[in-house]
Structure 1
């Protein structure tokens, strides 16, 4: 597979993500320059995001090319191009959290993606009937953050049954994309 220039990879990922997100319309959370969200420059180092009780969680991108540097398009938007075979991640900062828009460009891409989550003491992930995970303050029993259930669709806007599983401290997003029209876009989304 030929190597892409980082900016070319970022452009391809943005074009694929924009195509799908534009069709989804007003339901999409808006990008926002939020000082409470801190991105690292490398994929494996991930992002620190706030919780409602003023703590911070850490979400990593566990990918084949973990040392991949971000192409920062603006403070609230960066692209980790080539994080795995035929896969890019468009990382957005939101007013109340983050999105890790995963763009799968072809059939050789993995069908699952791991997002290790580090929580401060006293917080835990709790599975929700919706398929998402709540970040719960164990002392008070209150939800202080939420990983919304994932969605995915292909370039023909056909839904793909993305789902989460918990593997130790990692949220695993499964995207069964066999037979899909590429690119496929999926959306891990965390907010407080």
Structure 2
């Protein structure tokens, strides 16, 4: 238990430093009763869409059995979800942030998130590198996966992008040569 607490503290410290350096335009942690977290990393999270449906985002990782440490009702830490990798899952107004904290060069460069969309919704690639969740009948955007960003311990940008493979979205983070920890942020909002 001590190792998990130390891991959560290290992940929070790294993510906090990077978020403060990025400025005030970042989505703020906030309670949202429409966001429902699973107990383990593999259980993922159910997030609302603008039309009242729910999308499931699965946190695919080697340590999928990692149990969430609930630090506050709006913040969970999944320590050791992969080699040298922790995940801080944060509830925001109408969405979530999945702050991926990469602690060293042995960490993977790809992080998979499975998506389960209700019937009538589809993913549409955006020029920004993100994906909109679109209502097929009306053509309206009902949710958005913003293009991920990443930054190293020296606050230098690290290349991050998505690759879509079926119903799985892979965040690729090219962190080799970076100063660790590296923080990457996939963010969903309705």
Match of 2:75 among 74, 77, 84: 77
Unaligned ranges ≥5, structure 2: none
Task: Specify which of 104, 107, 110 is matched with residue 105 of structure 2.
Answer: 107
Deviations 1:166-187 (A, max 9, x none): 0110110000101000000000
**TM-score after normalising by structure 1:** 0.97
RMSD: 1.0
| Alignment partner of 2:140 out of 131, 139, 142 | 142
What is the alpha-carbon distance in structure 1 between the residues aligned to residue 107 and residue 35 of structure 2? 29
2:181 maps to 1:179: no
Look up the match of 2:5: 7
**Deviation string for 1:109-157 (max 9, x for gaps)?**
0001000000000001111000000000001010000000010010001
Moved over 4 A (4+): none
Unaligned runs of 5+ in 1: none
Give the alignment's TM-score, normalised by structure 2.
Answer: 0.98
Q: 2:94 aligns with which of 89, 93, 96?
A: 96
Aligned 1:23-172 pairs, distance under 5 A = 23-172=21-170
Secondary structure of the residue that 1:124 maps to in structure 2? strand
Q: How many equivalent residue pairs?
A: 190
| Matches of 1:123 and 1:4, distance apart in 2 | 43
User: Matches of 2:31 and 2:42 in 1, distance apart?
Assistant: 22
